[in-house]
Structure 1
Amino acid sequence: MSDHDDLHQRLSDAGRRWREGLPPATEAVRHVAPPQRGPRRWTVPVAAAAAAAAVAAIAGASVVLRSGDDQSPKPPVATQPTPTPTPTPPPTPPTGPPPSPTGPVACGPDDLVAGAPQTEGAAGTAVIIVPLTLAAGAEPCTIEGYPDVALLQHGTDLGLTGTHNTAFPPSRIRMAPGATADVSIGWAVSHYCGNVDNDQIRITLPGGQILTVPGFGQSSCSPGEQGSPPWVTSVTRQ
């Protein structure tokens, strides 16, 4: 036998002896038991995980319940209605005659009368002064301002409108029984070359009252003269 064959034989014998020393297959399977410490090693972690899951579930349920309580509709709060203010009725208009004024009112169309005019003159200019008094039965009143005057010829207006004499500024005059005021009208009748016959003067007082008094009469002039219009003063106190 060669060395190679001898080595092969020894190896075969060793393999046989090794196989003979092994236990039978069924016996090995029967004696293989699961490790005894495996379940005990996982018992604590599994129990802890289960307990943690139970705690989390309880906490979640508590949160859900609290959230539900917070979102549940709350009963309405009773409020007092705002009272509606009672509208104030409009004032009742006064009945009966209007109250009397606290002072004299302006003189009306029938409150004054004209007295007999007085005529004065100088340097060819005539001045007619018309006195005014309170009419009988009239209440005291006031008059103020310039009257309007028109020179008439047998009822026709000559167009000679009187200008305001600013030397007599207007002032308020109280007309009462016994009181007298004046209106003065002036005209250079002796220097007017229009050849007119002024027989009447129409006076319209402030307040609308119209009075008629005798006029300046026949006009005259010297050759080459230019006449001037008449003038009138405001109502003045005597």
Structure 2
Amino acid sequence: MNKIKNSLNKNTITDLMATLTEKDYNPIYAETLEDAKEIILNLIPFHSSIALGGSVTINQLDLINTFRDGEYHLFDRYNQPDWPSTLQCMRDGLLADYFLTSTNAISKNGELIQTDSGGNRVASLLWGPENVIVVCGINKLVDTWQDGMNRIKEFVGPLNSKRINHKTPCNISGVCEDCQTKQRICNFTSIIKSGKRVGNPITIIIINEEVGY
């Protein structure tokens, strides 16, 4: 990344982190994806139980195989024999010590905006796991929560529908059509305005790189 752009992005992240602190989040700066990975491993003690939200960012962190070894207990949604077992695994993950996920956007006012097809990520962010860690690239920072919603509608929703091959109009057209299909990608949306929750405050790791969708 251009050094000047990197420096300007860091200033943007620093300003946002001050706002997030005021809103009772626990923000952490990461220069690179690899730095974020190291931070996460330092935050999660051995033998903790871990659940994951479906996320390109989390996949890019390349931590799943680490969590699968004997030092952790992973609610492994990606390694189940069938869909009913996958659903049960995600339900069980609501009792995890740590929930690791990303978000679709963070506003300058410290709002986290995310939408789900099934709702497990939205649910776990709000309630259940004792600790929540959100990892976010610089590309997901927006001015307002309305801009976050537009980002989901115009960009994230169609891309994710294509990624997981949901049979939706936006998978083909690349444009949100507010469909009512069975595999609709944007059924459940939350806007989190404070890091306070039952359990520990939400930790947000902001990476000074473009990561995920």
What interval of TM-score do these two structures reach, taking the shorter chain for normalisation? under 0.3
- Whichever of the two has the greater Rg, that structure is 1
Normalized against structure 1, the TM-score is what?
0.18
Structure (1 or 2) with the greater helix fraction: 2
- Which protein, 1 or 2, shows the higher relative CO under an 8 Å CA cutoff with sep ≥ 6? 2
